[in-house]
Amino acid sequence: MKKADFMAFVGKNVEITLFDGNVLKGQLSYCDELSERHGWRPPKYFYIAGFNVVFKFSHVAKVKEIKR
């Protein structure tokens, strides 16, 4: 998957499997705007609402959209 394809999932409910096997379900968000406000999240990182996990695109093994 290309990063441009992955970016199409931002703002949608997804199920993401990270390279270490962790599975996260929720709304995918992009951290650039938050990193400027809070100063602790590096740009070009993503997160799932409700989880305290920030990850790079390169850490994603699999992604699929889910309906809620």
Which band of pLDDT confidence, cut at 50, 70 and 90, is reported for residue 30?
Answer: confident
Which residue pairs, CB below 8 angstroms and at least 24 apart, start in 10-15? 10/46, 12/65, 13/65, 13/66, 13/67, 13/68, 14/48, 14/63, 14/64, 14/65, 14/66, 15/63, 15/64, 15/66
- Domains of the chain, earliest start first: 3-65 (2.30.30.100)
Q: Which two tokens stand for residue 11?
A: 């703002």
pLDDT at 22: 92
Reported pTM: 0.78
pLDDT at 32: 67
Q: What is the mean pLDDT of residues 15-19?
A: 95
Q: Which residues pair with 47 in a beta bridge?
A: 29, 54
